[in-house]
Amino acid sequence: MAIVFEKPKALTDTVLHYCPGCPHGIIHRLVAEAIDELGIEGKTIGVAPVGCAVMAYDYFACDMIEAAHGRAPAVATGIKRCRPDNVVFTYQGDGDLASIGMAETVHAAARNENITVIFVNNAIYGMTGGQMAPTSLPGQVTQTSPYGRDVNHCGWPIKVCEMLSTLEGPEYITRVAVNNVKNVNSAKKAIKKAFQNQIEGKGFSLVEVVSACPTNWGMTPQKALEWVQSDMLPYYPIGVYKDRTAAKEAEGK
Amino acid sequence: MAKVTFRTDLCKGCGLCVSACPKGILAIDAEQINKKGYSPAVMTDQEQCIGCAFCATMCPDCIITVEK
Task: Quickly count: other Cβ atoms within 10 Å of residue A9's Cβ.
Answer: 12
Distance CA A170, CA A67 (A): 22
Distance CA A116, CA A176 (A): 15
Mean pLDDT of chain A: 96
Distance CA B54, CA A81 (A): 40
Q: Is the pLDDT of residue A253 over 80?
A: no
Whether B27 and chain A come into contact, CB under 8 Å, resolves to no
Q: Over the stretch A125-162, which tens digit does the pLDDT of each residue have?
A: 999 999 999 999 999 999 999 999 999 999 999 999 99
Distance CA A8, CA A31 (A): 9
Per-domain boundaries in chain A:
24-252
Long-range contacts at A165-169 (CB < 8 A, ≥ 24 apart): A165/A241, A165/A242, A167/A106, A167/A109, A167/A110, A168/A110, A169/A109, A169/A110, A169/A111, A169/A112, A169/A203, A169/A204
Report the number of distinct structural domains present in chain B. 1
**Per-residue pLDDT, A252:** 84
The reply to whether residue A2 touches residue B68, judged by beta carbons under 8 angstroms, is yes
Report yes or no: A91 and A46 within 8 Å, Cβ to Cβ.
Answer: yes
Q: Is the pLDDT of residue A251 over 90?
A: no
Of the pLDDT bands very low, low, confident and very high (cuts 50, 70, 90), residue A67 is very high
Nearest to A165 by CA among A248, A241, A113: A241
Q: What is the mean pLDDT of residues A160-182?
A: 97
Distance CA B66, CA B68 (A): 7
Distance CA A30, CA A80 (A): 22
Report yes or no: A177 and A209 within 8 Å, Cβ to Cβ.
Answer: yes
CATH, residue B10: 3.30.70.20
Contacts B67 to A, Cβ<8 Å: 1-4
Report CA-CA distances (Å) from A8 to A29, A60, A213.
7, 10, 24
**Per-residue pLDDT, B1:** 79
- Beta-carbon contacts of residue A246 (< 8 Å; ≥ 6 apart): A240
Q: Over the stretch B11-53, which tens digit does the pLDDT of each residue have?
A: 999 999 999 999 999 999 999 999 999 999 999 999 999 999 9
**Per-residue pLDDT, B31:** 94
Mutate to test the interface with B, among A28, A60, A181, A226 (most CBs of B within 10 A): A181
Distance CA A172, CA A194 (A): 7
Helix, strand, coil tally for chain A in percent (to 5): 45, 20, 40
The reply to whether residue B53 touches residue A5, judged by beta carbons under 8 angstroms, is yes
Rounded to the nearest angstrom, the minimum Cα separation between A152 and chain B is: 37
Domain that holds residue B22: 3-67
CATH number for domain A24-252, candidates 3.90.940.20, 3.40.630.30, 3.90.650.10, 3.40.50.970: 3.40.50.970
The reply to whether residue A222 touches residue B57, judged by beta carbons under 8 angstroms, is no
Of the pLDDT bands very low, low, confident and very high (cuts 50, 70, 90), residue A43 is very high
